[in-house]
Structure 1
Amino acid sequence: MKRRRLYERAAAVIFALLLWQAASMILGQQLLLVSPVRVLLRLGALWLEPGFWQTLWFSFLRIEGGFFLGLFLGALLAVISSRSHLIETLLWPFLVAVKSVPVASFIIISLIWLSASGLSVFISFLMVFPIVYFNVLQGMKSTDGRMLQMAEIFQMPWRRQLFYIYLPQVRPFLFSACSTALGISWKAGIAAEVIGIPDGSIGERLYEAKVYLSTADLFAWTIVIVLLSVLFEKVFMKFMKWGFARLEKL
């Protein structure tokens, strides 16, 4: 079944590339729609350019740093809010504002307070935090009340309740939150770099490609972003599954 699904997805990718190539040939304007062949050739050349890996590392560290910060604080405050209605109420207006205000507005406002190099960390954190918070809080609140009553009767310590009652309940909510937040952190982080234009970032390279009308570079860097995002998500989600499996054996 897995092999068949892999073949189907590969066929879908090939079909999309053929459509792209056909559209590029029909249009006949490489500036408007560059062919996938030229994009792949440019992508291969990018790997050999000086500074390419430094650019990847610059953006990767900041965007994923914001993701991990949002994951940690979102989960921590969700656990605290599940135990304290006051904390949940105090956090509510800030979280609603973060969910409602457009990302571009946050980026421009944040440029008043932060340097361009630190902007993607903050914006990535800001997008991840409410996703993790609300999902973990929902998981905590949906815990079986009978299990909690049993834990109270047997005077189970809070730490053991967290590991053996809450964590199994929160797990699907946390997995869903991380899967969504990882993609959004990259979208928001790169958008912040394109607007803030920090030196040595992927956002700067995208901005330069737009200024110099280098469509092949624009598509090539976009593919790099997609590959980075997807690969890190796969690795991180596998690590999370391994971590939860280890916790269940304790």
Structure 2
Amino acid sequence: MAFDLSRRLAAEALGTAMLVATVVGSGIMADRLTSDVALSLLGNTIPTGAILFVLITLLGPISGAHFNPVVTMVFALKREIEARSALSYVLAQVLGGIAGTLIAHAMFELPILQISATVRTGSGQWIAEVVAVFGLVLTILGGIRFRPESIPALVAFYITAAYWFTASTSFANPAVAIARTLSDTFSGIRPIDLPGFIVAEVLGALLAMAIAGWMLREPETTPATNLTLKGAE
């Protein structure tokens, strides 16, 4: 990449922080403005999709705009980022996500340090996270193959949709999930429910990588057959 590792890590930390601050902050704002859960979810959805478009557009040229450990994992497995850099990316994403939660609390004058009590568990939630991450990774890999210039819009639109068609409201990101355990607000998740989400997210990413690897593989070209007749030799 054109940018050195320190600037790429700064982009990953900053991007994940702004993403989580948007997720948590818009959840708090929506919860304060309405008691209607559907409206609160809508108020949480639109800002998340919008900030993803902005962040990927601005920071993508610096770090690739992963903002997500399972996305980094996929690129590491594809050997498009070296293992040491990938581990650094994940650490930056997790720390950035936590910072985003704390900043959101500060903006709304809530206790900075919190532990979520929101229950999010069960087979439906875990299946939803497999589906959410599967779709996200497939969107990214397919977009890179066919419409790389459209990645910001593709990811933003996918997450906006996935908020509503998945039972889990599409966390789809271990760093975001970790950060949301530290917010006892509309967007939170109990720490005890976190491992199930992370396992489901990793499985979804690996499944998408496997299917995309087969489905998007360049077709093999067959060499022209030599039709020289023996009699002409």
Q: TM-score range by the shorter chain?
A: under 0.3
Select the structure that is richer in helix.
1
Which has more radius of gyration? 1
TM-score, with length taken from structure 2: 0.27
TM-score, with length taken from structure 1: 0.25
